[in-house]
Structure 1
Amino acid sequence: MIEHIQNKTILVTGGAGFIGSNLCEFLLKKNIKVVCLDNFSTGKRKNIEPFLQEKHFKLIEGDIRNLDDCNKACKNVDYVLHQAALGSVPRSIKDPITTNDVNVSGFLNMLVAARDAQVSRFVYAASSSTYGDHEALPKVEEVIGNPLSPYAITKYVNELYADIFKKTYGLDTIGLRYFNVFGKRQDPDGAYAAVIPLFVKQFINHESPIINGDGSYSRDFTYIDNVVQMNLLAITTNNNAALNTVYNVAYGDRTTLLELTTLLKEHLSNFDDSIKNVEIKHRENRVGDIPHSLASVDKAKKLLNYNPKFNINDGIKEAVKWYWNNLQ
């Protein structure tokens, strides 16, 4: 599938972020031209520093809320991997206006810029939060509930806009509903740090991780390499039936938060045996959190030949190794 994009240029928005920088790294290793657009509000310069000397890498410091920046980034680009967004349900509850500005207005700017630049395909980060209050498991793409947070609303609106841009302007799109992605370069710091890097950092520092609720809530934790695979499949597929729809991006298994802490302890104790004795603490459940999340990946397997390589155990093993080497 790499040969389809060997002489193409790919724009990665949010390319200095966790997922974006992993996409940039993979593409550059395959000698594919990469343009990175980032305003460094949540992305980190250190994530892309190794790429700055690469002849196939171009950095544009800009904001998707600025249409001129989007137009500049899309110029002479063949494909867009749109990762730029303000994540986090709690952040959206605290500041819904900024979340909407970035995730909806910024998204629309990128669609317009991609349309005007005649980009071949627009692949974007959607979200499992779109399933909202729909309780059935596993989650299948065609059945969603009502959103439970401003963030979830913005990500659903992205899907609606993408659909309209195909119908109205002929822009091919694919939405990737990410389920709890984790792995190298995911930021453990800040008020809205994801649970895995946060817990890893706390364990390394011999601090007690705090679980919201009794630990029975579960998630379909998805290692970053599975996500990179899906993005690649989305821009290289020549199956027309696979275009202009959305896919779950997950492993297709769920892990409770208590099981997660057990796994983290097990792998981190290979580096520091005393981590086995770190206590787990609990507090009340968080507003906007869904109890359980589990994806069906049948659609992705059928239409895109998706074959996730990393289950939770294998992914945690790789992630822990990276954090141990980079958080010391």
Structure 2
Amino acid sequence: MTIKPAFDLARFQRWRRPFEIGFWVVMMTVNTVFNGVVAWFDDSYRTHRAESIEPWIWEATSSVVMLALVPFVVMASRRWTLRFDTWRQNLKVHLALSVAFCLAHVGLMIVLRMVAYRALLGWQYHFGDDWLRQLGYEYLKDIRTYFLFLAIIGGYRLLLLRLQGEASLLAEPDEGPPVEPVDRPERFLVRKLGKEFLIAAREIEWLQASGNYVNLHVRGRDYPLRATMAGIEERLDPARFVRVHRSYLVNLDYLAEMEPLETGDARLTMRDGATVPCSRRFRMQLRGRFGDAPVSA
């Protein structure tokens, strides 16, 4: 069964990285402009407590550091995902990380402001006389920003899952014998845009570990399965699926070529032209499957 996508997901995937980077740049730029206007109005125009350029230095340096910290928040959201079954434990981790986020933000922001003040105004920047109080004020803002970033990243990830589909193992029925072996499934259930369909295990071309998921690559699409690589490897046919890397399993039926590299690793080319890394540890095992003969289509 095939499902017609609501939009060209394959095309989006090609532009996904520039889109994600551009989103954060645009969001922080817009935030800088709005906050800068407010700060300029309050501190420069209305009260005359600051030079006209100072509010823009404050907001620009803060936003630049925030942008630099976004990749670390993304990595933290993948490593400690806030889910219904783990939110209590992972929330404590994120609360601790929000402190580190604030310290990094404030520290780098001060450095940039010192440079900007010296270059643009010829002055020396002072963070404040009461550092502890000022740091507490900054943390109240930064903890909100940190969890806002987590919410945006989590929402975006859920949207992608709905668009590209999410795989799951067929569950054992409440009554009667299972229609297939539960310990070695022949099919996977895929939910996509409110619909469900089955994909055969033999049609999976390769699998890639990605955080708390394993992506099943089928006919040019990736279907995330909430599982570990070790756990799913045990449930796949070892005569067909082979581990080639810490993060990759390949279906030998779709393997076209193995190219040795100078590092001792190898590059695998699949029948659709995609490439998969093969580490030195698994390269010899893979060659052993073919009697040391070169793998080619």
| TM-score range relative to shorter protein | under 0.3
TM-score (normalizing by structure 2): 0.24
Structure with more relative contact order (C-alpha pairs < 8 Å, separation 6 or more): 1
Structure (1/2) with the larger helix percentage: 2
Normalising to structure 1: TM-score of the pair? 0.23
